[in-house]
Amino acid sequence: MSNKKIIAISVGIILAVFFLTSFAGGTEEKASIAVRNVVFTDSYDGHNIADYEVELGKASIIPDIPVHKGYIFKGWYDYNNQSLKIENFDRIVDDIHVVAVYASDINDNNISDDEEVYYEVKFIDTIDKEILKTEKVLEGMAATAPLNVEYENYEFAGWDKSYSNVTSDLQVKTIYNKKIVNNDNLNNQAPNTYLVTFVDGDDGKTIKTVEVREGENVTLPTPIKHLGRVFDYWDGNYKNVRSNQKVVARYADDKNNNGKKDSLDTHYVIEFVSNGRGTLDGKTRFTNSLVGMNFDSVGIIVPKTVAEQYYKFDRWDPPINEVVNNNVKYKALFVPENDINNNEIADETERHYTVEFKVNENGSLKGTSKYEHVLYGLTFEEAGIVIPTPVADQYYKFVGWDKEFSEIVISRQTYYAKFEPINDKNNNGIADETESHYTIEFRSGEHGSIRGRTIYETLMLGMQFKHAGIVVATPVPDENYVFDRWDPPINTTITGSAIYTALFVPVNN
């Protein structure tokens, strides 16, 4: 072979060894870290929000929740069973695929429409007593008034109550002023002048009466202030006056007395929920809570907590602030009375497994070999599992366990300690010192002799002549004789002690 070929082959062998050791080592290092996949999907459009690889037993990141106009986020639910809500991502032991589920919220007030209160608003004509319109309105929303009916001797002056912030069933009635002939001259009213009376819509008192010439506008008076109410608008005609008019000051609720009507003010939802290990006794959702008000003033009563068996109430998350300043969902956190594996599940309700250590033969174990009722998800250290010490029998040695130890107990586990003979020339798994030994002997018959070693002792079953160092003796015939055969025929595999005799026959036999 040429020097060039030798060099090329050497370089190839070196590169192969380099790639095998490099990539094999990297694979082994990566495989030593167990991970689980956690996938978050948006049900609104089906796209994957996030896909994480999480180290076994560690917490997963929870991505930001997408915002969709007209919808409110309800929670994360199992992808294959969207009635199963998933709330705990603190300790991942299995692959998880969850989906963001939403509820309709057409008025964008952070309250699911199917959980809101609707009220019936009827608009009634006071002249012909007919219902002009019936409308279902979400709590806190405004109704839409119909067109008023025109009458020859009456002039429409407005509606008798506000319908901009509906908080109960309403009957809203028309207000009409009867047209008065100019020559009535009521209360010494000058010809071609009219009286415009401004009335407080809450207490019915007259704020001011103004006499105005036909076709002129009236300067508006200052509305009266009421606690818990704020002036909203003047209901009636005070411009281009051509008849006596009644103008009503309409007010809206202002429960937090901040000068804004409640329907335009910031409203929040205060909600109390459970983490699933207990229940709440009492009302749990309070809508339309105004900013700056305390729980007492808006009628919010924190519900009582009732823990399930094996659990106890721990705290509210976040801690309760009795002044309303934001949408808040207070979660009652119930924790297990016993939770050795810190997975927020009561030990009494969890899966338990057995971890056992065994030997087949040729050794024993020193220490505890069986651990029962081990909680799902615990590490050996957390479960108090101490791997027993393998002790080999005489002539044997411990060579390892039949498989790698699991990082976390997630099923029944049995581990076998493996022992091998220190000396095992015949590779049968039995220590040479404990096996039966045999002898192979070569002898000469009449009319000849043999040359070489004739006796081999301490041979073991199954060994081959070659591996046992046995060299068949050389037959040497006497003059006028030739070697014929070995008796019995030689078997080069040791099956027991044997004597092989060389047989010689005459040349001319």
* Separation CA 319–CA 124 (nearest Å): 48
pLDDT beyond 50 at 29: no
Confidence of residue 10 (pLDDT cuts 50, 70, 90): low
Rounded distance, CA 163 to CA 123, Å? 10
Q: Are strands 363-366 and 370-375 parallel, antiparallel or unpaired?
A: unpaired
Both tokens of residue 361? Answer: 């033969």
Q: In this predicted model, what pLDDT tens digit does every residue of 135-170 receive, in sequence order? A: 988 887 888 888 878 887 788 888 888 887 888 899
Residue 413 CA neighbour count, 13 Å, CB half? 27
Strands (E), 144-237: 154-159, 170-178, 193-200, 206-213, 229-235
Q: pLDDT tens-digit profile of 224-245? A: 999 889 999 999 999 889 999 9
Enter the tokens of residue 57: 């037993």
Residue 225 lies in a domain: no
CA dist 88 and 276 (Å) reads: 10
Condensed to tens digits (0 to 9), the pLDDT of residues 417-463 reads 999 999 988 888 888 888 889 999 999 999 999 999 999 998 988 88
Instruction: Please report the pLDDT score of residue 209 as a whole number.
Output: 93
3-state SS, residue 115: helix
CATH of the domain at 403: 2.60.40
Using the 3D structure, point to which of 77, 101, 125 is the last residue of a domain: 101
Nearest to 385 by CA among 358, 354, 363: 354
The answer to whether the CB of 369 falls within 8 A of the CB of 340 is: no
Residues 248 and 261: their CA atoms lie apart, in Å, by 17
DSSP assigned state of 449:
E
pLDDT score for 19: 44
Residue 197 belongs to a domain: no
Question: What's the token pair of residue 105?
Answer: 């919220």
Q: Is residue 466 part of a domain?
A: yes
**Each residue of 293-326: pLDDT tens digit?**
889 888 899 999 999 999 999 999 999 999 998 8
**What is the spatial distance between Cα 457 and Cα 465, in angstroms, rounded to a whole number?**
12
- Tally: H helices and E strands in the chain: 4, 30
Query: With bands split at pLDDT 50, 70 and 90, how would you rate the model's confidence at 495?
Result: very high
What amino acid occupies position 109?
N
Percentage of the chain lying above the pLDDT 90 cut: 50
The dihedral built from the CA positions of residue 319, 321, 325 and 328, taken in this order, carries a sign that is: positive
Task: Tell me which residue range forms the domain holding 72.
Answer: 35-101
Average the pLDDT over each of 68-72, 196-200, 384-388 and give the range with the smallest value. Answer: 68-72
At 188 the pLDDT is 53
**Cα atoms in the 13 Å half-sphere on the side-chain side of 229:** 17
Q: Which of 431, 406, 490, 425 is nearest to 463 (CA)?
A: 425
State the residue for tokens 């209160």.
Answer: 117
Q: Is the pLDDT of residue 284 over 80?
A: yes
DSSP state letters, 304-318: EEEEPTTEEEEEEES
Residue 468 domain-assigned (yes or no): yes
> If you average pLDDT over residues 357-379, what whole number do you get?
91
Annotate 150-172 with DSSP letters as a single string.
PBTTEEEEEESS--SS--S-EEE
The residue out of 164, 179, 194 marking a domain boundary is 179
Position 22 pLDDT exceeds 70: no
pLDDT at 509 over 70: no
Residue carrying the six token digits 């000469």: 444
Q: Residue 12: its pLDDT value, please?
A: 52
Arithmetic mean of pLDDT, 9-17: 48
Q: Are residues 109 and 94 in the same domain?
A: no
DSSP secondary structure letters along 252-263: EE-TT-SSS-TT
> Where residue 68 sits, what CATH number does that domain have?
2.60.40.4270
70 in the same domain as 17: no
Is there a contact between 471 and 492 (Cβ–Cβ < 8 Å)? no
Mean pLDDT of the chain: 86
In a domain, 478, yes or no: yes
* Count of domains observed in the chain: 6
Provide the pLDDT for residue 32. Answer: 57
Higher-confidence residue of 162 and 413: namely: 413
For residues 389 and 401, what is the distance between their CA atoms, to the nearest angstrom?
A: 11
Structural tokens at position 148: 């008023």
Q: Is the pLDDT of residue 1 over 70?
A: no
Residue 321: both structure tokens together: 């602030």
**5 three-class SS:** helix
Question: With bands split at pLDDT 50, 70 and 90, how would you rate the model's confidence at 20?
Answer: very low
Last residue of a domain, one of 136, 163, 179: 179
Residue 428 covered by a domain:
no
| 140: in domain | yes
Residues 6+ apart with CB under 8 A from 22: none
Between residues 430 and 475, the one the model is more confident about: 475
- Predicted confidence band at 2 (pLDDT cuts at 50, 70, 90)? very low
Higher per-residue pLDDT: 139 or 278 = 278
Which position has the token pair 């509906």? 166
- pLDDT, tens digit, for every residue of 53-112? 898 888 999 998 898 888 889 899 999 988 899 989 989 989 999 999 998 887 777 788
Q: Is the same domain home to 118 and 163?
A: yes
**What confidence score (pLDDT) does residue 475 get?**
96
Q: Determine the average pLDDT of the residues in 338-346.
A: 84
Residues 299 and 330 in one domain: yes
Q: Give the pTM.
A: 0.40
Residue whose pair of structure tokens reads 């819509």 in the numeric block: 201
Within a domain: 185 = no
Dig out the tokens for 490 from the structure: 């030689």
State the pLDDT at residue 11.
45
